[in-house]
Amino acid sequence: MRKTLSTTILVLAGALVVFQFARAQAIKAEKGVRFASPEMTRLDQSLSAQEWNRGFQVVYRTLLNNLHPPAGAFKTRYAYPSPVFRGVYLWDSSFIAQVWKPWDDKTAEDVLRAVLDNAAPNGRLKHFVSPYDKSEYTQPPVIAWSAWEIYQWNRDREFLAYAYPILKKYQLWLSVHRRSQGGLYYWAHSYESGIDNSPRFTSADEKIRKDTTSLAAIDLNSYAYNQNLLLARMAEVLGKPEEARVFQKNAEDLAGLINEKMWDPATGYYYDLDLKTDQLVKIRTIASFLPLFAGAADEQRAKIARDHLMNPKEFNTFFPLPSVARDDPEFEKDCWRGPVWINTAEMAIIGLKNYGFEKDAAELAWKLVDGVYRNYALTGKLVEFYDPDQDGFKDLHRKRGNIYKLLTLGDKPQPNFVGWTGLVNTILIEELIGFHKENGKKYLAPNFPDSAKGAGFQLVLPQENLSLEIEVLEQGNTKGKVISEKGSPNFSLRPGEKLEL
């Protein structure tokens, strides 16, 4: 009897797997996705291996579910960050495109087109596009970064030629409508920043708001620097040298203002600047490190910022890179007042790599990836934000005291969220395993911390017709095999070494 029951259970489990696979294939075909999703398998027998395997898979399954065919205002496919947020958001889409990039770069382009196609006539890229609501604001301008990253991946000059004039007009709109007389940029409303209830801008429940128009924002100025810099590179590719020089000069001028006006040598942080008093607003948040992401910091300031990022009392927490420094008096576990958000965490990691702090970037990336996958194993949820001190969400809140938010979104982070939490897979692929593309060429540059010793990975990238097997040795050294149409050569790499595939 027991044997018959066990056999029946196995048969049913097998049938469920077949059904789920067939359903996924049907959804993929319906939504125009050209390739099977990347696959990752931890080859070691560590406790976390199965957690990573399940988490990696569910990110892509959720990503596919949140993709939608063309409809209404959208001529292309478009993406929601999660089922509850029924709008196409500017900065969410920029990050969602980076999750799609290793899976299907054309889908990644479509996710950005859904935003770019709906630019306002005056050039403003909208906070969000939705049939249910409207906004007169914008959101963080990271879309040029996202478009440029996709271009590095696929060298699609046609897409770059489409995006460039829209992004150029958007940057002009920002310069006219969001720049002070002194040349620094400000948010018109805290909602434009994407970090709605940050202590930089509001009280936890958002009932008390600062006048953001009189606050030069370190995040927006970093984004604007980065956007000008990337528009210069796009202009060069598209044969517009005069426009490239203008954008390059804009970027250099803005970097000068950021470092002159927004850096505090006493504490070693970048801060917002009160434009009325000319005083820095000294709240230590993850935004303080965005000049590293943008590339606007000099080497000396970057080194000081790195020390803060790696300090366990500040940002190198159990689940790393909280939105407010753990020891800052303003820290609390409410939305953008302390919890970890994967998009800003990824930008901090990219910032470290930009300035050569590869080992530090690896340590934080490993802890971040492990934290997301581990929390999914414990809770069955991919969510918007995480607790920097512990697993689970019991101590987290959403704009506590805001009754409207409590009724519409609840008090905890929303599940099925890949608006940027899905970046965990991209961080694993690009920052840890180190597969990336520059100018359309494929490279492998593994970057693992010492704590990853003994871990093994198999990564399959159907879009690239490529499979990688990697074992992490002592001190971040790696060995493995590349399996592609060119053959199956073995490799051995030390930290900092790069292999062209």
Pairing type for strands 128-129 and 215-216 reads: unpaired
- pLDDT at position 374 is 97
H-type helices in 66-104, by residue range? Answer: 90-100
DSSP string of 351-382, one letter each residue: HHHHTT-HHHHHHHHHHHHHHHHHHHHHHS--
- pLDDT at position 11 is 54
**Total number of domains in the chain:** 1
Structure tokens at 306: 């790195």
Is 21 part of a structural domain of the chain?
A: yes
Characterize 288-310 residue by residue with b for buried, 16 or more Cβ atoms within 10 angstroms of its Cβ, and e for exposed.
Answer: bbbbbbbbbbeeebbeebbebbb
Residue 10 has pLDDT above 80, yes or no: no
Angstrom distance (rounded) from CA 291 to CA 184 = 14
| Domain around 11 | 1-30
Residue 168 has pLDDT above 70, yes or no: yes
Residue 18 has pLDDT above 50, yes or no: no
pLDDT band at residue 23 using 50, 70 and 90 as cut-offs: low
- pLDDT tens profile 310-354: 999 999 999 999 999 999 999 999 999 999 999 999 999 999 999
H-type helices in 140-217, by residue range? Answer: 143-154, 157-177
Cβ atoms of 25 and 17 within 8 Å: the answer is: no
- pLDDT at position 133 is 85
State in Å, rounded, how far the first CA of the chain is from the last one: 55
H-type helices in 214-320, by residue range? Answer: 218-237, 241-261, 290-294, 299-309
| Residues in the chain, overall count | 501
Look at residue 262 and give its three-state secondary structure.
coil
Is 7 part of a structural domain of the chain?
A: yes
Is 14 part of a structural domain of the chain?
A: yes
175 burial via Cβ count (<10 Å: 0-12, 13-18, 19+): middle
Angstrom distance (rounded) from CA 477 to CA 362 = 13
- pLDDT tens profile 75-108: 999 999 999 999 999 999 999 999 999 999 999 9
- pLDDT at position 484 is 85
Structure tokens at 131: 């049939």
- pLDDT tens profile 347-380: 999 999 999 999 999 999 999 999 999 999 999 9
The full 3-state SS of 444-493, as one line of letters, equals ECCCCCHHHCCCEEEEEEHHHCEEEEEEECHHHCEEEEEEECCECCEEEE
**What percentage of the chain carries pLDDT values higher than 70?**
95
Structure tokens at 227: 């956007």
- pLDDT tens profile 377-396: 999 999 999 999 999 999 99
Residue 3 has pLDDT above 70, yes or no: no
Structure tokens at 17: 């797997």
Cross-strand partners of 88: 129
- pLDDT tens profile 431-486: 999 999 998 899 999 999 999 999 999 999 999 999 999 999 999 999 999 998 88
Cβ atoms of 43 and 479 within 8 Å: the answer is: no
Q: Which residue has the higher pLDDT, 186 or 133?
A: 186
Residue 15 has pLDDT above 70, yes or no: no
Angstrom distance (rounded) from CA 357 to CA 308 = 13
Residue 155 has pLDDT above 80, yes or no: yes
Angstrom distance (rounded) from CA 243 to CA 147 = 18
Residue 25 has pLDDT above 80, yes or no: no
Cβ atoms of 34 and 104 within 8 Å: the answer is: yes
Is 299 part of a structural domain of the chain?
A: no
pLDDT band at residue 488 using 50, 70 and 90 as cut-offs: confident
122 burial via Cβ count (<10 Å: 0-12, 13-18, 19+): exposed
